[in-house]
């Protein structure tokens, strides 16, 4: 299966408009944003857990990175409320689920295979807003990528010019970019060499961003 698998093209998906697709586990549905592979896949996905649903115990051979968008995600390592950013590196394992239900944004098979750093962070910024009207929290940085969280005040330019491509998920609010309006749940991927030039609306926006990673996009290892 290939979905939005040409990383040389600008790609925009308004995930709230996409249908939910059943997963192999009852009560767990998905909106696929990009994908190379079938059930074992390099994938970027919105996943919804119905109350009381869970996956079987499994190991993340290629690593897993996720944000809790709504509700509380749970596994044997703890509870992860909305706003949690989590990295489970290659060889990590867990039994995920949600007693009350939750929705997460998850990326699979997109790690450096030597990475063994497992952590969680809360996506919050301090009370101070930067001089450009944007507050930024760096969530992760390595030789391949930078992951960050941004709060943008109303009617403010939000611009990024980074090597290796740019990926953005609108967590809340509205941005205008390239003639398109990006609202909560909109996912944008810009190829190498294309900068991000966006503007928030009157109420501002909160966004998750990853840069530098697209040259490393590969199908999952066998």
Q: What is the pLDDT of residue 195?
A: 97
* Residues 92 and 136 placed together within one structural domain of the fold: no
In a domain, 162, yes or no: yes
Distance CA 158, CA 207 (A): 10
* Residues 151 and 98 placed together within one structural domain of the fold: no
Domain of residue 148 covers: 122-216
Distance CA 39, CA 48 (A): 16
* Residues 115 and 134 placed together within one structural domain of the fold: no
Report the first-to-last Cα separation within the chain, whole angstroms: 15
Number of domains present in the structure of the chain: 2
In a domain, 5, yes or no: no
* Residues 148 and 206 placed together within one structural domain of the fold: yes
Q: What is the pLDDT of residue 55?
A: 85
Question: Region 52-77: what's the mean pLDDT?
Answer: 92
pLDDT tens sequence across 197-206: 999 999 999 9
Distance CA 164, CA 145 (A): 8
Domain boundary among 63, 86, 119: 119
Question: Region 110-130: what's the mean pLDDT?
Answer: 88
Residue 221 has pLDDT above 80, yes or no: no
pLDDT tens sequence across 127-137: 677 889 999 99
List, in order, residues 6 or more apart from 150 with CB less than 8 Å away: 125, 134, 135, 136, 137, 158, 206, 207, 208, 209
In a domain, 10, yes or no: no
CATH number for the domain that contains residue 135? 2.60.120.10
């Amino acid at each position: 299966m290939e979905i939005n698998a040409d990383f040389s093209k600008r790609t925009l998906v308004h995930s709230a408009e996409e249908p939910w697709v059943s997963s192999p586990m009852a009560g767990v549905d998905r909106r696929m944003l990009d994908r190379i592979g079938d059930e074992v896949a390099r994938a970027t996905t919105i996943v919804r857990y119905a109350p009381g649903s869970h996956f079987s115990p499994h190991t993340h051979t290629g690593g897993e990175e996720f944000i809790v968008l709504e509700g509380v995600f749970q596994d044997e390592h703890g509870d992860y409320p909305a706003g949690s950013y989590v990295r489970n590196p290659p060889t990590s394992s867990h039994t995920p689920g949600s007693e009350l239900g939750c929705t997460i944004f998850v990326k699979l098979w997109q790690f450096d295979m030597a990475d063994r750093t497992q952590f969680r962070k809360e996506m919050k910024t301090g009370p101070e807003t930067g001089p450009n009207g944007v507050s930024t929290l760096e969530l992760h940085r390595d030789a391949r990528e930078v992951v960050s969280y941004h709060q943008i005040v109303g009617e403010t330019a939000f611009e990024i010019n980074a090597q290796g491509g740019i990926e953005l998920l609108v967590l809340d609010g509205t941005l205008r970019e390239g003639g398109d309006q990006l609202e909560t749940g909109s996912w944008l991927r810009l190829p190498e060499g294309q900068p991000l030039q966006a503007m928030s609306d009157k109420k501002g926006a909160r966004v998750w961003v990853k840069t530098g990673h697209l040259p490393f996009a590969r199908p999952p290892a066998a």
